[in-house]
Amino acid sequence: MVMYRSGGDTSFCTASVIMSNIVLTAAHCVSDLSDTRVFYRGGLGKLALFDVATVAINPDYKPNAWRQHFVSIDLALLRLKEPLPSSFKPVELADFGPIATGQRLRIAGFGRADEDVSGTSGILRVGILSVTGPKSKLLAFLVDPNGFGLGGCTGDSGAPIFAIDRPLLVAVAIRAKGKGGYSCGASTEAVQIGPQLPWIHEILRAWGTTRGMAQ
């Protein structure tokens, strides 16, 4: 997960491990280097914190673009000063190809489980979502096919969205809509990873860290 401070408040997001010392998350989840950390809960719930050495923001990221209905590639790569433990396995990166309306994908995030109940974040939740409209080559819009309100919530920004049958990263959640104050469940907006693979590879080459990357 990613912890960041903005305007004096501390927030967190979900992230995907790309390499042992690199994670992918939403760009709006990143603050100054001194105010951004990657962390996970170890034994007895103790936080293991990792400092961030370098951040790369996708050049097509536009803060608050959703208010003006602009397309924003809300992605960031974070290179850590120290690698994560070997128990963290990198996600699979490959071009999934075009996604189709009705196609089902799997979301995994640590966000708030219930917008009406405090203290329900920080626990991994996995669910199946279905692709809906509007159709886009860059973004994906997903809903709970069973109508139970399953989907992204506060803390699920940066959450990986996988293919159903393998840990192939298809998209990264960036925003959710809902009726409550935490904008949970009604729909989840995500950035498709396939069109962003050239940017990811470019950054990894610049960082000199392409060896061992999942393909």
Six token digits for residue 54: 């370098």
CA-to-CA distance for 140 and 100, rounded, in angstroms?
A: 10
Q: Is the pLDDT score of 6 beyond 80?
A: no
The burial class, CB within 10 Å (0-12 / 13-18 / 19+), for 115 is buried
- pLDDT category at 74 given cuts 50, 70, 90 is very high
Domain boundaries, the chain: 2-90+195-206, 104-194
Q: Which of residues 135 and 76 earns the better pLDDT score?
A: 76
CA dihedral sign, ordered 13, 14, 19, 20: positive
Under the banding of pLDDT at 50, 70 and 90, the label for residue 138 is very high
- What is the C-alpha separation between 108 and 152, in angstroms, rounded? 9
- Two domains, one topology: 2-90+195-206 and 104-194: yes
Please provide the CATH number assigned to the domain covering 104-194.
2.40.10.10
**pLDDT tens by residue, 14-54:** 999 999 999 999 999 998 888 899 999 887 778 899 999 99
Per the model's pLDDT, the better-predicted residue between 202 and 46 turns out to be: 202
Calculate mean pLDDT across residues 98-113.
92
Predicted TM-score (pTM) of this structure? 0.91
> In terms of DSSP H, where are the helices of the chain?
197-206
Q: Is the pLDDT of residue 215 over 50?
A: no
Q: Which pLDDT tens digit goes with each residue over 148-157?
A: 777 888 889 9
Alpha-carbon gap, residue 207 to 187, rounded angstroms: 35
Q: Write down the mean pLDDT value for the chain.
A: 88
User: Into which CATH architecture does domain 2-90+195-206 fall?
Assistant: Beta Barrel (2.40)
HEC profile of 145-174: CCCCCCCCCCCCCCCEEECCCCCEEEEEEE
pLDDT of residue 201 exceeding 60, the answer is: yes
pLDDT of 198 > 60? The answer is: yes
Q: What pLDDT band is residue 180 in, cutting at 50, 70 and 90?
A: low
Give residue 154's pLDDT. 85
Q: CB under 8 Å to 195, separation ≥6 — which residues?
A: 137, 138
Q: What is the mean pLDDT of residues 118-133?
A: 87
